[in-house]
Structure 1
Amino acid sequence: MNWGLVFRAALAVVLLAFLVSPDSFAPLLQPLVKYGAPPIYHQGNLLEITLNHLWITFAATLAATIFAVGLAILVTRPFGAEFLPLSRSIANVGQTIPPVAVLALAIPLLGFGTEPILVALFLYGLLPIFENALAGLANVPRDVEEAARGMGLTPWQRLVQIELPLALPVMLTGIRIAAVISLSTATIGSTVAAKTLGEVIIAGLTTNNTAFVLQGGLIVGACAVLINDGLLALERVLAQRTGRAQRA
């Protein structure tokens, strides 16, 4: 029996049950509160907050993926190789500027809400996606490329039919890392009025309610584990397929 799969399935079921009916878990969290404070966060619907948190993560990761993969494709073409140092500098911006600083800079331009945290997460996700896309595209076997040229495929056909499929498992590693980082970092979006699980954690910190802090943190942690493991499983499937393709 695959106990890892059983654990992930059980975690998904418990997470869904908590989000749909959080009051059912109140007795478990009651010992963590004092002076009659509520053990379950009711200032907003936990399911809606979680879905919005996931949407913000998905939107930022998708935007970072499109930009970073496009940049990696550009610098791995002969006409774009000279832009590699500049592209690396652009991808490094998100890692050198803290997300909190990005939020502070974005608020005067975008105002409070979802937009500032989307910008911060987009920048933060560029580096792992770009570097993995670059590694995947740069390490396509030469004999495969020569065979594609011998078949008369155009550069665009080689990119779409050969290079991207072979590089996809490595690219997905960067996307997975960026998604998990963004999922955790998105909690700070609540400091600029974005609707994320950070509001549950902040509410717990400001009212000294450990139950709020725990449930907000556990929801983020459970989502991170499930997303990481799901993408990791997809990576393995794609790696096996591309491995067979290269051997063939």
Structure 2
Amino acid sequence: MTGALALRLAALALLLAFLFDPAAFAPVFAPLAQHGAPAIYSQASLLDLTVSHLRIVALATAASAVLAITLGILVTRRAGAEFLPLSRAIVNIGQTFPPVAVLAVAAPLVGFGEAPTFIALFVYGLLPIFENTLSGLQQVSPAVMEAARGAGMGPWRRLWEVELPLASPQIFEGVRLSTVIAIGTATIGSTVAAKGLGEVIIAGLLSDNTAFVAQGGLVVGVMAVLIYDAMGAAERLLLRRLGVLAD
């Protein structure tokens, strides 16, 4: 076992231990709680908040990936090339308007809770996946494509058996990046009553309790690192099975 892997496993074990029994870590956070304030957030289960946080991230990232990859494929086809500027304008909306602004617009339209948070994360996650999909597909060697045509492959077969496998490393990297961004950004969902770890951070800020802020921030940060690494490992395994990455 490498040192890096051992460190990640230790971080995962500590994270799970904290989520399942946060009270056991009260002495760790007690120095950050002032004026007799509680050291551990107890208004809601930290485990439940974490699950809700990850669920909205997973749903929004999956929706972003479906649309962004579809658009990336469309604009790299001859028939859809003219839609590239429009597609870029669509996926850039999330970067033009900050998530807080998207929440402010979405909440009056769809109500409070998870819906506006989903919309904000969905819009914000489009750009990394779209640009990586576009870049990956455009970098497929013309010689490889010509060889595929010479082998009698039609357009759809070339897409599924040649282009997407070769572009998949960049596509997966875009999805990983979008996921990590969403994990951090989802904390603002608590401002519109969505369940998540932002609830802990906001409670700490409102009550001037640094212990709560540290708990929410640490859980979000550790999760982002561990999930990014786990997705990378899953990506390498899948690419080996596709024959894109050598063993």
TM-score normalised per structure 2: 0.95
Partners of 2:196 and 2:90 lie apart in 1 by 27
5 Å matches for 1:146-157?
146-157=146-157
Aligned to 1:192: 192
3-state SS of 1:112 partner = coil
Gaps of 5+ in 1: none
Superimposed CA distance per residue, residues 142-177 of structure 1 (whole angstroms, 9 cap, x where no aligned partner): 222122212222211111111111111100111111
Backbone CA RMSD of aligned residues = 1.5
For residue 54 of structure 2, what is the amino acid of its counterpart?
L
Letter in 2 for 1:31: P
How far did residue 232 of structure 1 move?
2.7
1:111 aligned residue: 111
> Retained in 1: the 8 A contact 2:236–2:245?
no
Determine the C-alpha separation between the residues in 1 that align with 2:176 and 2:164. Answer: 17
Instruction: Give, in angstroms, the shift of residue 215 of structure 1.
Output: 0.4
Q: Give the drift of 1:36.
A: 2.0
Offset, 1:234: 3.7
Aligned to 1:242: 244
- In the superposition, relative to structure 1, how do residues 232 and 243 fare at CA in structure 2: closer, same or farther (>3 Å)? closer
Contact 2:137/2:163 (CA < 8 Å) preserved in 1? Answer: yes
Query: How far off is 1:243 after superposition?
Result: 4.6
Pair 1:214-2:230 in alignment: no
The residue type paired with residue 176 of structure 1 is R
Q: Decide whether the 8 Å contact of 1:33 with 1:211 is kept in 2.
A: yes
User: 1:110-129 counterparts in 2 under 5 A?
Assistant: 110-129=110-129
Letter in 2 for 1:60: A
Q: Tell me, in whole angstroms, the C-alpha distance in 1 between the residues paired with 2:180 and 2:139.
A: 25
Tell me how far apart the structure 1 counterparts of residues 166 and 120 of structure 2 sit (CA, whole Å): 30
Distance 1:59 1:196 in 2: 14
Paired residue for 2:81? Answer: 81
Identity across matched positions, percent = 58
Does structure 1 residue 96 correspond to structure 2 residue 96? yes
In structure 2, what residue type is equivalent to 1:11? A
| Unmatched runs of 5 consecutive residues or more in structure 2 | none
* Aligned residues of 2:114 and 2:195 also touching (Cα < 8 A): yes
Structure 1 residues 2-41: aligned runs within 5 Å: 2-41=2-41
Partner of 1:223: 223
Shift of 1:9: 0.6
Q: CA deviation at 1:230?
A: 1.7
**Kept after mapping to 2: 8 A contact 1:12/1:226:** yes
Q: CA deviation at 1:39?
A: 0.7
- Which stretch has the larger CA shift, 148-157 or 66-75? 148-157
